[in-house]
């Protein structure tokens, strides 16, 4: 799995919406400023997330976006699959986006067996991590003290 800039921005936008979860909408400009995401690119990503049912929008001067469901109900895996496609590093081990590989015997391919383990490890993590947990991690990281730099000559 390779997370593109689009995928990263989608998760970062959902993080902001998760941190502000509630009935109120968050303006695109606020999300853009908070996460340093180009506004036009963010608009495209949020429209894509809306079509997938992750977010809802309200139009107009007081418009913006909010999560369509609780942050604890949106997994990183669901978002990444929607934005990026397969979680598998190669198509022949993907469950949702299978592609036949070029090796002579797929069932006895050593590389495929390793890539299958990689996919299973990635899936195990991203299936259990939700936007809610991303928010918890963000809060914890924000409250931790900055590391003290000690220079010795």
User: What residues form DSSP beta bridges with 94?
Assistant: none
Per this entry, what is the length of the chain? 153
What distances in angstroms separate CA 9 from CA 32, 39, 51, 107, one per listed residue?
A: 10, 11, 16, 37
Report the chain's mean pLDDT, rounded to a whole number. Answer: 89
CB-based contacts of 28, cutoff 8 Å, min separation 6: 39, 42, 43, 46, 64, 65
pTM of this prediction?
A: 0.85
Express each pLDDT in 64-110 by its tens digit: 999 999 999 999 999 999 999 888 777 777 777 777 887 788 788 88
C-alpha 50/C-alpha 153 separation (Å) is 55
Give the distance from CA 149 to its chain's centroid. 32
List the one residue out of 128, 125, 51, 58 whose CA is nearest residue 82.
51
Question: What's the rounded Cα separation, in Å, for the pair 81 and 52?
Answer: 11
The pLDDT value given to residue 150: 66
54 compared with 94, residue with greater pLDDT:
54
Domains and CATH numbers, the chain: 5-134 (1.10.10.10)
Q: Residue 109's pLDDT is what?
A: 82
What does DSSP assign to residue 92? G
CB 46 within 8 A of CB 9: no
What are the tens digits of pLDDT across the range 107-123?
888 888 888 888 888 88
């Amino acid at each position: 799995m390779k997370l593109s800039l689009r995928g990263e921005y989608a998760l970062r936008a959902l993080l902001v919406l998760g941190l502000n979860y509630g009935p109120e909408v968050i303006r695109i400009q606020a999300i853009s400023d908070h996460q340093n995401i180009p506004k036009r690119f963010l608009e495209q990503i949020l429209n894509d997330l809306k079509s997938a049912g992750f977010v809802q929008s309200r139009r107009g001067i007081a418009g913006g976006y909010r999560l369509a469901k609780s942050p604890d109900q949106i997994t990183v895996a669901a978002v990444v699959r929607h934005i990026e496609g397969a979680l598998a590093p190669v198509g022949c081990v993907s469950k949702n986006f299978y592609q036949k590989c070029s090796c002579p015997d797929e069932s006895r391919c050593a590389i495929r067996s390793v890539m299958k383990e990689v996919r299973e490890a990635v899936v195990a993590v991203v299936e259990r991590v939700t936007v809610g947990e991303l928010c918890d991690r963000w809060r914890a990281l924000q409250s931790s003290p900055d590391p003290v730099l000690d220079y010795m000559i």
